[in-house]
Amino acid sequence: MTEQIDAGMVARRIAESDRLGSPDPSREIGRARRRKEDARLITGRTLWTDDIQLPGMLYVAFLRSPMAHARIARVDTSAARTQPGVVAVYSGRDFAGEQGNLPCAWPVSEDIVIPDHPPMAVEEVRYVGEAVACVVATDRYKAADALEAIEVDYEPLEPVLDMTEALAEGSPKVHEAGNRAFTWKFSGGDVEAAFRDAPVLIERTYVQQRLIPTAMEPRAVVATTDGTAFTLYSSTQIPHVLRVMLALTTGIPEHLLRVVAPDVGGGFGSKLQVTAEEVLCLLLTRRIGKPVKWTESRSEGNLTAHHGRDQLQRIALAAERDGRIRGMRADLLADMGAYLMLVTPGIPILGAFMYNGIYKMDAYDFTCTGVFTTKMPTDAYRGAGRPEATFAIERAVDELAHELGMDPVELRRRNWITHQEFPYTTIAGLTYDSGNYEAATDRALALFGYDKLRAEQADRRDRRDPVQLGIGVSTYTEMCGLAPSRVLGSLSYGAGGWEHAAVRLLPTGKVEVVTGTSPHGQGHETAWSQIAADAMGVPFEDVSVLHGDTTVAPRGMDTYGSRSLVIGGVAVLQACEKVKEKARKLAAHMLEASPEDIEFSGGTFTVRGTSAGKTIQELALAAFAAHDLPEGFEPRLDAEVTFDPQNFSFPHGTHLCAVEVDTETGLTKIRSYVAVDDVGTVVNPLIVEGQVHGGIAQGIGQALFEEAVHDAEGNLLTTTMTDYLIPSAADLPEFVTDRTETPATSNVLGAKGVGEAGTIAATPAVVNAVVDALRPYGVRDVRMPCSPERIWRAIGESGGAAAGWAGPTESEGGER
């Protein structure tokens, strides 16, 4: 059936490519290829981890703490053991000698406190949802039933929920060592001087609410063993990192452990983790000798798949009256939750280099204190530290513009790095290799109809229209392509940032690309095929991309931080070039010419100035047959490359959002949204556009809808999709997207990365728009998510900046 599907689509695919415009029809790079991945996904023939069935497989369910903080006095599993279908029941104590601690690979400071983090709690629970016991049974229903028969006695302890209170003298402690995990400082320029006698000072506090990443595929794990070797299937973004970490954690030798990421249904950072469930499933299969499977329910996932953001940001901006920014201070509290997981403490630190945004300034100072609370640990969520930074600077710049009575776009122009100034080393010490903020902004303003919307806004203000129009600007950049290994080392991260690729030319001339990146929706199979097809001069259809299995693709650093194309894609290109160098030697030998005289074009090696040539397919077969090879030539045409970047890449863009805010109900409607992004060279514009769309949707989600809410006891209230609101189709507008293309100079592809861009840009664009709509009321901030209630209250509390702008609270007596 696959053949029929593909054949039926060929003609249309070509037509599509034309419609979207391919810069060079003879090239794959830049072409809007329809994705190879789709065929299995639109027909239900893909393989998710929960689809896996193995002979004799057993199902695991976890009993989870109902308390945010308690001592475990007693766990009685005896009744559960006798339930029908139950094979085993264990508490944390049963694994105490064996389970070790979940790893933290990013000890950001010398004095960081890294508490023990057993996969199943033994003595104490520190967040609602922490596993305390597990059942292994013959089906998922029986496993869930037996949980109810486990008895646990808890001695309640004080929950610790607020970061500021957690740091106060006398606060109850999450861990013996106290609630401060670390303090990390960074400074550039003379900050004192920049702030001394500053003509304009903007000081704000922003709350980055806690988010739940909410990949649509819930996490799932299958573990199996033959008694010697182990295989772990997991819905993970990081099979390679996971394998190393699981070997270190469980003591299973690395060479006897295979980790497979089958198709993975989204991650957004939430599957960049070494989870308790992965460790425990391995230990369970080791103990029981049968394959085991665990699949989380959504409510279990909301509780226990790591959360994102959750920072309190104190921001100060010093500026001249003409708008020139002198300096910036950022002082953060970052909620770690109850433990430090894989890169928990590193997340806010990733933002440290981005608070200055795209702007020139004389001085910058950053301090971050990581705080323990009795909540689920936080960790990477799309953007990871950088959305928080961009939000703060883009919100503060808007406040500065308002303070100065200046147009927010004009203020940005006065401060941003101009096109001529690249490469530019920022006050945070990063060297931005390329960019063109002018071009992206001009394109965005034109698409948006900025002036016309400003005129409408003025009109609505004049008319005292109850529905006010707000315009939000966000000019962002981000550091992508994580990361140069030496930089990661200098930041105390536990691993490198290289990526690996292998390219194999098969005897029939087909090409296998093996990549260490691990896609979960991005479309690497398509994009990597395009890169290899161009480089090798073979048809797109003749390339297959292998990934996500440590046996098949043994080396890699996986997928996160907008790194896959910028590092992994470059590795693929370089491996292709290496294969071609070998092929060139073989061609020269067969054509009786010197390698220097051999030219390559469109898949054929020819002797310069003649028509004599060999196709890459002919060379593949010749290498396989090995009858007549050059002296010392190994009979294979393949190559491997491990690429370690010299610098980050810096995509940027300008996002503009227009909102209509009904000041009587507080309801916000996004009227239009324009995004012009510069992600450097584009391999597949369709994939890039899709990433931007999805990113914007998540950024809007943070701005308007999403928040993980806890009650006073530390219970998560938003455990279901009814309570934790990810945007539906009805909540979002059509996005207008366009691109400018300023190639990165830091890699041979010229690519910059696009996975996180939309999310980073969108949140401040939307909130700036909401606040802009409410300026006449004297509102200068609305806490995220900007729900109708929060907006309504903000209008009421502001009291109205000018006569006649009083909000609904005054007349209706609203209260806090």
Partner 1 sequence: MPRITVTVDGIVYEEEVEPRLLLVHFLRDRLGKTGTPVGCDTGNCGACTVMLDGRSAKSCSVLAVQADGSDVVTIEGLAQNGTLHPMQEAFHAEHALQCGYCTPGMIMAAVDLLKDDPDPSDEAIRHGLEGNLCRCTGYCNIVKAVRRAAQEMSGEGVRTS
At closest approach, how far in Å is the CB of 38 from ligand FES?
Answer: 10
Ramachandran angles phi, psi of 601, nearest 5°: -160, 135
In the complex with ligand FES, the residue whose CB is nearer, 88 or 215, is: 215
d(CA 526, CA 1): 20
Q: Write the DSSP symbol of residue 242.
A: H
Contact set for partner 1, span 299-358 (CB under 8 A):
299
In the complex with partner 1, the residue whose CB is nearer, 195 or 381, is: 381
- Cβ burial 770-792 (10 Å sphere, 16+ → b, else e): bbbbbbbbbbbbbbbbbbeebbb
d(CA 352, CA 566): 22
Q: Provide the token pair at 247.
A: 């070997």
At closest approach, how far in Å is the CB of 217 from partner 1?
Answer: 4
Burial of 725 (0-12, 13-18, 19+ CB in 10 A): middle
At closest approach, how far in Å is the CB of 64 from ligand FES?
Answer: 20
Q: Which of 99, 214, 275, 373 forms a contact with partner 1 (CB under 8 A)?
A: 214
In the complex with ligand FES, the residue whose CB is nearer, 457 or 522, is: 522
Stretch 195-234: interaction string toward ligand FES, x if CB under 6 A: ---------------------x------------------
d(CA 215, CA 270): 7
Where do the H-state alpha helices sit in 296-448? 298-304, 346-351, 386-404, 408-415, 437-448
Q: Provide the token pair at 642.
A: 């491990």
- The verdict on 802 binding partner 1 (CB under 8 A) reads no
Positive/negative CA dihedral, 553, 557, 560, 565? negative
Query: What beta strand segments (E) does 157-237 contain?
Result: 180-188, 200-211, 220-225, 230-234
At closest approach, how far in Å is the CB of 678 from ligand FES?
Answer: 25
Q: Which of 26, 44, 97, 804 forms a contact with partner 1 (CB under 8 A)?
A: 44
**Segment contacting partner 1 by CB under 8 A, of 64-72, 344-352, 549-557, 726-734:** 726-734
In the complex with ligand FES, the residue whose CB is nearer, 36 or 752, is: 36
- The verdict on 523 binding partner 1 (CB under 8 A) reads yes
- The verdict on 729 binding ligand FES (CB under 6 A) reads no
Where do the H-state alpha helices sit in 470-546? 485-490, 524-536
Contact set for ligand FES, span 253-312 (CB under 6 A):
266
Where do the H-state alpha helices sit in 55-153? 78-81, 140-147
At closest approach, how far in Å is the CB of 544 from partner 1?
Answer: 18
In the complex with partner 1, the residue whose CB is nearer, 607 or 761, is: 761
In the complex with ligand FES, the residue whose CB is nearer, 509 or 521, is: 521
CB-nearest residue to ligand FES:
216
Q: How many CB atoms lie within 10 A of CB 739?
A: 20
- The verdict on 554 binding ligand FES (CB under 6 A) reads no
Chain-centre distance of CA 801, in angstroms? 40
Name the binder of 533 from ligand FES, partner 1, none, CB < 5-8 A by kind.
none
- The verdict on 738 binding partner 1 (CB under 8 A) reads no
d(CA 751, CA 633): 34
Contact set for ligand FES, span 346-365 (CB under 6 A):
none
By CB under 6 A, how many residues form the interface with ligand FES?
3
In the complex with ligand FES, the residue whose CB is nearer, 633 or 705, is: 705
Q: Provide the token pair at 153.
A: 């006695």
Q: Which of 171, 187, 297, 745 forms a contact with partner 1 (CB under 8 A)?
A: 297
Q: Which H/E stretch holds residue 475? A: strand 467-477
Contact set for ligand FES, span 520-539 (CB under 6 A):
521
Query: Of the candidates 643, 526, 525, 627, which has an alpha carbon nearest to the alpha carbon of residue 577?
Result: 643
Residues lying near partner 1 in the complex (CB under 8 A) are found at 1, 4-5, 7-9, 11-13, 16, 34-35, 37-39, 41-48, 50-51, 53, 139-141, 214-218, 263-266, 268, 297-299, 520-523, 686-687, 689-691, 693-698, 720-722, 726, 728-730, 732, 734-735, 758
Residues lying near ligand FES in the complex (CB under 6 A) are found at 216, 266, 521
